[in-house]
Amino acid sequence: MTARKRIGLYPGTFDPITLGHIDIIERAVKMVDELVIGVAVNRDKGPLFALEERVKMVTAEMAGIAKKNGVVIKVIPFESLLMKFAEQMKANFIVRGLRAVSDFEYEFQMVGMNQKLNDDIETVFLMADVRYQFIASRLVKEIARLGGDIDAFVPAAVAEALRKTFAKA
Ligand code: ADP
């Protein structure tokens, strides 16, 4: 019998991808054969970057990580209900990152609801390295908008994209 391929799904808005997200991805790939990074359309959050740009930025950072860890990483946009998307992707589990206590309440509720929708797909939580735990896309955008230095929070290409976006504004 061949072992079943372990597929993890890491969903998020990634507006834009930060070193915090990347740290979680580097931890998640150790647990799977394939990691799907689901980029949510998330119109409610009023994203700064268009969906295609977010997907492109995430994809650009993944080649090195996939090669180094010998795993397949797919970056796929989605608009449907998370659990439906997870089923489509044949994911065994969903990966979420936990920062401070502030993330806990929301994530706690989400897991409760998602278990009702599909109890076979587990949610696992990973913590980023202490150096990256405080990073949030929302704050990175705020700092960039005000002309601050964001190089310590995002990959170089993302920092460049943020600078360009706010230079235009
Ligand atoms: P969402 O809109 O789903 O919260 P995000 O792109 O903001 O999307 O985050 C995706 C996931 O990554 C979430 O589980 C979030 O808690 C986690 N995450 C974001 N930044 C960090 C970080 N610095 N450390 C650990 N986890 C993080």
pLDDT tens column, 24-47: 999 999 999 999 999 999 878 789
Tell me, in angstroms, the distance from the centre of ligand 1 to residue 2's CA.
34
Contact 40, 85 (CB under 8 A): no
Q: Which residues contact 153 (CB under 8 A, 6 or more apart)?
A: 18, 19, 20, 135, 140, 143
Q: What is the pLDDT of residue 43?
A: 76
Give pLDDT < 70 ranges for the chain.
1-2, 169
The CATH architecture of the domain made up of 7-130 is: 3-Layer(aba) Sandwich (3.40)
pLDDT at 42: 84
Please give the pLDDT value at position 2. Answer: 62
- Predicted local confidence at residue 127, as pLDDT: 95
The residue annotated as part of the active site, out of 27, 56, 74, 99, is 99
pTM score: 0.95
Residue among 106, 44, 103 nearest 79 (CA): 44
Going from N- to C-terminal start, the domains of the chain cover 7-130
Catalytic residue of the set 5, 45, 138, 145: 45
